[in-house]
Amino acid sequence: MKLLVTGGAGFIGSNFIRHVLQAHPEDRVVNLDKLTYAGNLQNLADVAQDPRYGFVHGDIGDAKLVRDVARGVDAVVNFAAASHVDRSLIEPEEFLKTDVFGVYTLLEAVRELRIPRLLHISTDEVYGSVPQGSSRETDPLRPANPYSASKAGADLLVGAYWQTYRLPVLITRSSNNFGPCQYPEKVVPLFITNALDDQPLPLYGDGRNVRDWLYVLDNCEAIDLVLRRGAEGQIYNIGGGHEVENIVLTRQILRLTGKPETLIRPVKDRPGHDRRYSLDSSKVRQLGWRPRHRFDGALEATVAWYRQHEPWWRPLKSGEFRTYYQQQYGDR
């Protein structure tokens, strides 16, 4: 297959490109990425010279460029997004531009060029907070922040292109990912790198919000399966099946980094903070997927990765990032 992967220089996209090149020696991948603060070509340094891989710098909202790079591919896999909830509370515009309008631009290119498949990567956040039970693909969307509302908008648009034009689209909605190359603004790498630096771990609210954790390599396998075996017009939930309160996760990170619980700093809650996400993944399991990594081992491997890759994350921890956090919550 010849794939156009968009947003492939970010966390999940870069892990996915590496997975595809390893698992499918006959495949070729073009990576179109805007290289926002979250995009990092170092994530793909090990495949940069692979003749099956190519990189194009650009925006998924650039209709002409998208048509140029998409021409002749067998499938588009879209990871490109503004992806951090806290940033969407302060600067929603970028989220609407990329996560909604960018997806529209991709849909139009796929329609015009008659590309055989578009897999759009979405999120469990579109279902909103789930007090009990687990979300199924047919459940209503109740997004509660500008990030999840933008992602929900794109999902509805993708669904509309299926209904209206029978465009060959698929969607995956995964739960919270963790693993190598995740930008240290998301809770797992933020808390690991803060702990390694003996810095406080800012735990929002009462620390009892629940997330369902999925190791990024398991997500990549599921996405790959849906890409090759999924049915057109369908949505597939991909949940890790490991639901924990943030305080439990935080203590586990402190144990793995060998740091004291006195580093935990309760701070003001995130506005509109969804209490719990939970996915029913039986549909993707019926395709033959299940997570291969146990949570404890995967978190340990993730901590080891950040220990061993300080030159990767150290430059990302200075300047803009701290200002951003402080801008929002101050020191408390």
Q: Which two tokens stand for residue 66?
A: 């998208």
Enumerate long-range contacts of 125-131, CB under 8 Å, 24 or more apart: 125/85, 125/151, 125/274, 125/277, 126/151, 126/152, 126/155, 126/173, 127/173, 127/277, 128/274, 129/274, 129/275, 129/276, 129/277, 130/276, 130/277, 130/278, 131/275, 131/276
Distance CA 93, CA 74 (A): 31
**Residue 209 partner contact from ligand NAD, ligand TDX, none using kind-dependent CB cut-offs of 5 to 8 Å:** ligand TDX
**Residue 34 partner contact from ligand NAD, ligand TDX, none using kind-dependent CB cut-offs of 5 to 8 Å:** ligand NAD
Would residue 261 show up in a list of annotated catalytic residues for this protein? no
What does DSSP assign to residue 19?
H
State the angle between helix axes of 63-70 and 103-113 in degrees (0 to 180), rounded to the nearest 10. Answer: 50
Would residue 125 show up in a list of annotated catalytic residues for this protein? yes
Q: Report yes or no: 250 and 264 within 8 Å, Cβ to Cβ.
A: yes
Residue whose CB is less far from ligand NAD, 36 or 250: 36
Residue among 18, 61, 85, 170 that touches ligand NAD (CB under 6 A): 61
Residue among 134, 135, 176, 281 that touches ligand TDX (CB under 6 A): 176
Q: What is the closest distance, in whole angstroms, from the C-beta atom of residue 50 to ligand TDX in the complex?
A: 27
Q: How far is CA 28 from CA 3, 70, 102, 222, 229, in A?
A: 6, 13, 23, 19, 18
Q: Does 257 bind ligand TDX (CB under 6 A)?
A: no
Q: How far apart are the first and last CA of the chain?
A: 50
**Residue 13 partner contact from ligand TDX, ligand NAD, none using kind-dependent CB cut-offs of 5 to 8 Å:** ligand NAD
Selecting among 27, 59, 127, 147, the annotated active-site residue is: 147
Q: What is the closest distance, in whole angstroms, from the C-beta atom of residue 38 to ligand TDX in the complex?
A: 10
| Residues within window 84-143 making contact with ligand NAD, judged by CB under 6 A | 98, 102, 121, 123
Distance CA 205, CA 316 (A): 25
Could you tell me which stretch among 34-42, 67-75, 259-267, 315-323 binds ligand NAD (CB under 6 A)? 34-42
Would residue 310 show up in a list of annotated catalytic residues for this protein? no
Binding mask 178-217 for ligand TDX (x = CB under 6 A): --------xx--x-----------xxx----x-x------
Selecting among 125, 212, 218, 274, the annotated active-site residue is: 125
Distance CA 16, CA 53 (A): 13
Catalytic residues: 124-125, 147
- Which stretches of the chain bind ligand NAD, using CB under 6 A? 6-7, 9-13, 33-36, 38-39, 59-61, 79-83, 98, 102, 121, 123, 151, 174, 176-177, 183
